[in-house]
Amino acid sequence: MLRVEMLSTGDEVLHGQIIDTNAAWLADYLFQQGLPMSGRETVGDNLSSLIETLQERSHIADVLIVNGGLGPTSDDLSALAAAKACATELVEHPEWIARMEAYFAERGRPMAASNRKQARIPANAEMLDNRVGTACGFALTLNKCRMFFTPGVPSEFKVMVEEQILPRLRQGFTLPEPPLCLRLTTFGTSESDLAAELDGMLLPPGVVLGYRSSSPIIELKLTGPQVQRAAMEQAWQRVRQVAGDNTIFEGTAGLPAELTQCLQQQNLTLALSEQFTAGLINLQLQSEAAPLAGGELLPAHCTETLTTLLARAQSLAQLTGAQLALAVSAMEGERVSVALHTPKGGIGQTVSYRATRHSLRLRQESVAMLALDMLRRWLNGGQVCGKNGWLEIVEIIE
């Protein structure tokens, strides 16, 4: 099996001053291509540490993707470290300098002399194009390992992986078939409750059932070889059965995208009134271009009863001309209310947190999800107020 590793560089990554989103993206991307990552490591802006790590991994990994350290500043050391690890020199490429000069000229800016550093790569390296930035990527072989050096800017990194690195991996190695991964996401049920029902399930050979808890949601994944598709789809029916109406979506699109599609298909518009959720629902739906008719964001101290919240949702729908309106109250103590106005009347519930240890942000996210789940249930013709392990229902008005 091909051993693929990643080496992230930079003091800001090593010391946790930024989140290494490139590593998470690459791990998922390679997994989808049938190349699960075998290991990840992080090294700061230290030349000797970089050289030592490159030499060490060159005897272990088949492929090493090095991220970061290709910029124009003095702490960008990846190219120099690669050259010293290979006992070779850095060579300046005039064609890349011309590319950078054109890049800056198009933006009406002169190119700083420090940028010439980005055109210097090890003499034994192959240049990797970067069509969205100025950092020149490169690839080389050290001992048994094919190494790819990439920029740290996420937009540049992702394009280089997709357009430059993956095609070279397909050309240079026999890659396995990508795995089949069936996914669904639940809201309102606990990981332990799901596991109690599913962990004893008999799975086809080579198939794994996984759980990913990211409060307030839990994702279930069934992963295995493509040849097991029929058996996996049969087992998946059991997973669906256990998740039941707590399933908020299947696949990876996300609930806001699913709701947007449902609203558009049913030719419905939605108005929003938010207090405790502080605009989170609006943000999520707007990001998916949902058909929103308007809305309001009120101070989080305007407490009201569930009856008055339902009346406000109805009034907002009339004011905006929307067929549907979602309203979230302020939080009073541990209680918060959500109301949904529909052409057939209003449905609302007041809920209370079962635990008080959760942060404000997590509470806001869980209430936003509760409101979106109520909308999902109504759009799908189901019971609008479902059971929820996080929240205790105090009052329901239908």
Per-residue pLDDT of 254-278, as tens digits, reads 999 999 999 999 999 999 999 999 9
Question: Which helix (DSSP H) or strand (DSSP E) does residue 292 occupy?
Answer: strand 292-297
Q: Is the pLDDT of residue 136 over 90?
A: yes
32 vs 25: CA distance, rounded Å? 11
For the chain, give the percent of residues with pLDDT over 70: 99
Taking the CA atoms of residue 76, residue 77, residue 82 and residue 85 in that order, the dihedral angle to the nearest 10 degrees is: -170
Q: Residues of CATH 3.30.70.2860 domain(s) within the chain?
A: 180-250
Per-residue pLDDT of 347-389, as tens digits, reads 999 998 766 677 889 899 999 999 999 999 999 999 999 888 7
- Quick one: how far is CA 253 from the chain centroid? 10
Over residues 71-75, mean pLDDT: 92
Per-residue pLDDT of 138-178, as tens digits, reads 999 999 999 999 999 999 999 999 999 999 999 998 888 88
Residue 229 amino acid letter:
R
| Cβ atoms 292, 341 nearer than 8 A | no
Q: Is the pLDDT of residue 112 over 70?
A: yes
Residue identified by tokens 């990508």 is: 178
Q: Confirm or reject CATH 1.20.810.10 for domain 4-172, answering yes or no.
A: no
Query: In this structure, what token pair is assigned to residue 292?
Result: 């929103």
H helices present in the chain, as ranges = 11-14, 21-32, 47-57, 78-85, 94-106, 154-160, 166-172, 191-198, 229-243, 255-265, 280-287, 306-320, 360-379
Name the DSSP letter for residue 175: P
Residue identified by tokens 């500043």 is: 73
Distances (CA, A) of 31 to 175, 181, 183, 266, 275: 12, 10, 14, 36, 40
Q: Residues of CATH 3.90.950.20 domain(s) within the chain?
A: 266-397
CA angle 245, 247, 249 (to 5 degrees): 135
CA angle 59, 65, 69 (to 5 degrees): 110
Question: How does the average pLDDT of the chain come out, rounded?
Answer: 93
Q: Is the pLDDT of residue 200 over 90?
A: no
Query: In this structure, what token pair is assigned to residue 190?
Result: 């606990």
Q: Which residues pair with 250 in a beta bridge?
A: 184
Distances (CA, A) of 374 to 64, 107, 119, 126: 46, 48, 55, 55
Q: Is the pLDDT of residue 1 over 90?
A: no
Please give the residue that has the higher pLDDT: either 285 or 300. Answer: 285
State the angle between helix axes of 360-379 and 280-287 in degrees (0 to 180), rounded to the nearest 10.
60
The edge-to-edge listing of strands for the beta sheet with 180-187 is 208-214, 217-224, 180-187, 247-250
Question: Strands 137-142, 145-150: parallel, antiparallel or unpaired by DSSP?
Answer: antiparallel
Report CA Rg, the chain.
26
Distances (CA, A) of 17 to 10, 154, 252: 10, 16, 29
Per-residue pLDDT of 15-47, as tens digits, reads 999 999 999 999 999 988 889 899 999 999 999
Q: Residues of CATH 3.40.980.10 domain(s) within the chain?
A: 4-172
Nearest alpha carbon to residue 243 among 221, 227, 274? 221
CATH of 180-250, one of 2.130.10.10, 3.40.190.10, 3.20.20.80, 3.30.70.2860: 3.30.70.2860
Per-residue pLDDT of 302-348, as tens digits, reads 778 999 999 999 999 999 999 999 999 999 888 999 999 999 999 99
Distances (CA, A) of 109 to 71, 100, 103, 130, 305: 17, 11, 9, 19, 59
Quick check: helix, strand or coil at residue 20? coil
Q: Is the pLDDT of residue 394 over 90?
A: no
CATH for 266-397?
3.90.950.20
pLDDT of residue 355: 62
pLDDT of residue 176: 83
